[in-house]
Homo-oligomer: A and B are copies of this chain.
């Protein structure tokens, strides 16, 4: 039996990191994942950091290279404002860019708000981990994860991570038939 799914959660926000306001992104991510992921057990690594590109890059590298995270979700910092640098930091540590996640997250959000096209969210592979940028607002986090998570378990399979099973009433993980043969 494999070990836990190690999930890094990163909120890049000067105000939240400085205690000016309470971060709502990380609690929303934990809540969503705890409901949807049926197995293996979840182990969270949380980081509340200022939205500086170098700090975000260092945090992403540390979570994957040192802490062995299989999945890293960031929250916030993906808009057009000068302090929104999460996508740049994510691309800077990428081995492979996964353009389909950003496209689909924007397409999903666009059903709710026309300003979804302002989001610059990306997803990338670094080593054996998938990094996905998510919005800052709990409502938008849920909408976005609902829209793309079905593809995450198979992606984690392909890069060598643990076999994720979901509560199918919430999100039905999809794997091609050939992959199902290899199910542990």
Q: Looking at chain A's contact residues, is the secondary structure mostly helix, strand, loop, or mixed?
A: helix
Output the least CB separation between A178 and chain B (Å).
9
Q: How far is the CB of A111 from chain B (nearest CB, A)?
A: 12
Stoichiometry, as copies per complex, reads 3
Instruction: Output the least CB separation between A115 and chain B (Å).
Output: 5
Closest to A140 in B: B176
Contact across chains for A174 and B81 when beta carbons are under 8 A apart: no
Give the size range of A's interface with the partner.
35 or more
Closest 5 CB pairs of A and B: A100-B117, A114-B150, A114-B174, A81-B158, A115-B151
Cβ 8 A contact of A154, one of B98, B118, B150, B154: B118
Assess A103 versus B106: contact at CB under 8 Å? Given A80-B159, A150-B114, A174-B113: yes
Q: Interface 1/0s, chain A 57-84, versus B by CB < 8 A?
A: 0000000000000000000000111101
